[in-house]
Chain A
Amino acid sequence: MSFRLRLAVFLVASLAILQSVTAVLVYEVTRRQVVAEGKRQLAIAGATFARQLDDVSTRVSDNVQVLTLDFALRSAIAQRDRDTLRSALRNHGRRIGAARMLLIELDGTIDADTQDASPDQRKFPFADLVEGALEKPSAALVAWEDQVFWIVVVPVHAPALIGLIAASIPVDETFLKREQEQSALPKTTELAVQNSNGTWVVVARANPGNALADRLLGGNTKRSDTPALIEVAGREYVALATPLRTSGQSRPIVAVLGYSLDEALQPYRSVALTWAVLLALGLVAGLLGSVLIARGVSRPIEALAATARRIASGDYRPAAPVAQAGEVGELAAALTNMAEAISEREEHIRFQNAHDDATGLMTRVAAEAAIQQMIDSETGKGGSLLMVALARLPEITKTLGHAISDRLMRDAAARIRGPAGSALVARASDSEFLVWMCQAGQGDAIALAFRLLDVLGEPYREADIAIDVAPAVGIALHPLHGTKASALLQRAEVALFAALGVDEPVAVYDPVADPHRPERLSLMSELREAIDRRQLQMHYQPKLNLTTGVIDGVEGLVRWQHPKLGLIGPDMFIPLAEETGNIRRLTRWVLASCIAQAHAWDLRNRRLRFAINLSARDLDDADLPHRVSELLAIHGVKPHQILLEITESAVMGKPDAAIRVLRQLADLGIDLAIDDFGVGQSSFAYLRRLPVRELKIDKSFLLRLAMGAEDRTIVRSIVELGHRLGYRVTAEGVTDQTSLDYLGEIGCDHAQGFFISRALPPDAFDTFLTASPWHRENLLT
């Protein structure tokens, strides 16, 4: 329930309750007053009714008295002329409205009766009236034969008292109604007679329908003298039973007078209606007023609630100014203050979150977002991301602790900022920084990289120690290497790894060398299946013996016929196999394939020497010599038909175990060759310790052989040196006749390359060899 509604309900409810209570009180007071007024009026009406009856009797007795003075009547009475008497009485009775007229003897016997031709000396039943009438007219109500009569008895003098005339006037509905018309007699007037058994019987009522007497007296023999409140037919009356003076010989008679409360309250009905209308109007006005007031209060509060929700959603603009003073205004001010405080605190937290404590630089996450933003806002303008690593930092941290490494990083950050200038500098990881240069090409980036190496090359000094941090820089270029900041970061990282441990520790990202390109990831998982599903196949590139002019050997090269990507070269998946640990399986498969092929060709009298590449990882496999010898034995291939090729970097700095594997292979009678000779850091002194029998000159020298004297000299020197040290020398990458001729000229042992033939599948190789000018059989013919 909203505040507005609650306030409205409260106000309206209190108004309604107040009004209702007042209405009830007023109604009760009014009702009591009406009841009291009714009782008062009833008391008056009771007395008035009795008086009215007296008036009636006075009138009647006067009339009767006048009647008695009629000489003829007196004469008839005196002479006891009964028939005349009855007719005269009847006549006079009509005149005065009497229902019955009687002549009564002085002793009380009925002498003549208008309703009874032969009274037969009956006694007049109301002796007290007769007795009183001897002196003067007497009158009283009587209950006579189930009716109420007003009887007036008047003496007759002729001239002495000779009898009494009784006039009996019915007190019935007609009488009561007439009396009502002539006086303030209540509408509800009834006459009740008490029976001999004590119950009351209504004998006349002015208003048929209501039976107040039944209700008021209700068969009770007791009768209350005070007005009582009764309910008849759903209407309330104040009723009073007034005893009427009766003849002593009559049964008791009461007049029941009713005062209708409903009628008395009738004038108040319009007041009540007006009141109800006023109450309704008051309620409506109260409702409207309370809604307006509540709105005045709740509107600003709702506005503040909206502001609070806005603040919750991160919008810290100050709350709309509230014109109202007082609590709401204070609340608004407090809300504004709160929003400001939250805003400040959030700013602080955000800064802390986005910045590194030790250096005060942005964190990688923040920097990534910032770089992305810059990329997005300056589309097409390019940029360079430099990843700067302090290679020795992990070591320093382990040795000297975090405190000094933090200080060192802080110092390094300061040094970087100098050359970086306006570029974005951030801390990428524990030992790395990143620098983002907007609108900078590769040249700018490399220039900056070298400047950074300069400033970081100076050892960090603290107290009496000087620490060399071994900086390196990897560079990724936008948009060349990626359009996403995250991708650029990753590529710069890859480049950085390439730069680590190199004399000029600066490297630009090389997509080809990137072992982390995403497509490789799927290849890794697929490579294992490739072996099982025979997607790999061996191609063979012929080796031409320059001395004999005959192809007497091949180099086995593995190819991956990928179902979707097509033919994949070993440059792509060999490093992958090395990383995923599949290289040993791959090598075994290659060995098995080559040896099997050697056997197959042996059977056809094609004796060829198989050069098979080994990975550096294969040298960790102590089981390799044993496996090779098994394969040789199975296929009946002689060991000297196999030449295993290893790169310079694979053997350089290898542990003794690897060297041992090589020696065991050599002991089997298998020759070893150094692949890609001339580009690595190999030294002859080291090579001398290995059972190497052949050198393969890197193809990079051969590619420019035809053009440059310098490379020719290198190749010639290698050949000469190799020969002097007792190695055979093979030249790879021969692409033209000139090179081939030159190699033959300088005494190179074997030549290999596209000029002779590219690597071919076994069948194609057969075909090629059969047709080749360098085929032994062809040579012979």
Chain B
Amino acid sequence: MSSQAEASFLKGVARLAMFTSASKPAHKHHKASRAKRILSRVLIYGALLFWAFVCLFPIYWTITTSFKSAVDVTQGHLIPWVDFQPDWKGWRSLGLSPDTIQGVSTARAEFGSRFANSIVTSVGASVLALILGSLAAYGLSRFRYKFGWMRNDAILFFFMSQLILPPVVLALPFLVLYKALSLLDTRFGLILLYTLTVLPIVIWIMRDQFNAIPIELDEAAFVDGLSTWGAFIRIVLPLAVPGMAAAFILSLVLCWNEYFFAALLTSTDAKTLPVMVASQTGSQGINWWSMAALSTAAIAPLVIVGIFLERYIVSGLTTGAGK
């Protein structure tokens, strides 16, 4: 590490020396262009830092507010230990602070069940969508289909066109149907709905992934005596893991954040975390710290995913872009 730093330092010195010696003849010109360069650097980094602040401040504000007391909130104190003394107040109201974590807490039980619902529904829907989507994507990428007048392009468009369907169109029919099917307020009902919302995206990503895997591999597998499905499961699928990870994580995030369907179709048993957060936002002012703690807990998994699995999200989102 230190030797590396040393090397880069030496390189910098060398460059500086080169620069000064080379710039002597055209001194004036270089000075102007250098000032311009520095100015543009300052502007670029200024803009970058400004936007980073815009992105991070609300998150910072929420996390710190969960450790504030009422006075600190009203007086607009911002920096822990400098402006205000952090306190577990918000977390205590959720039963998640160090001194209450051992005891019994109805708030924590409620939070825990919502959290579990969110995890079960988003993981379940992502898995289901990944299975259905990968199969369909492999088929669309490898074979030619003809369902009546529909060819591969038309079938793909059929799947993708579901993206434009606004949730409101489906929400009320589903309300009626789920009532008849006794699926209202169940996790299974939500999983079905969430699967349908992410299925087009999964198909899109996975088709791109399968297209990137050379078809010669399949053919070699056929020569080795594997069947169509054997080649898919043993040869192609292991190679498609990066695309699957991207699709899985992206749909996980989308399902975790979904609010509209959950608000309409769940009431007590299958309520997810966003619905819980939303139901608490009505109460203002006085219990800011508990709201902040709740919001922090709701976004924490996503912030962690965003920081550590960012490259999967990016590769999932940018599928097909730039082509």
User: Is B one of A's binding partners?
Assistant: no
Interfacial residues, chain B to chain A (CB-CB below 8 A): none
Interfacial residues, chain A to chain B (CB-CB below 8 A): none
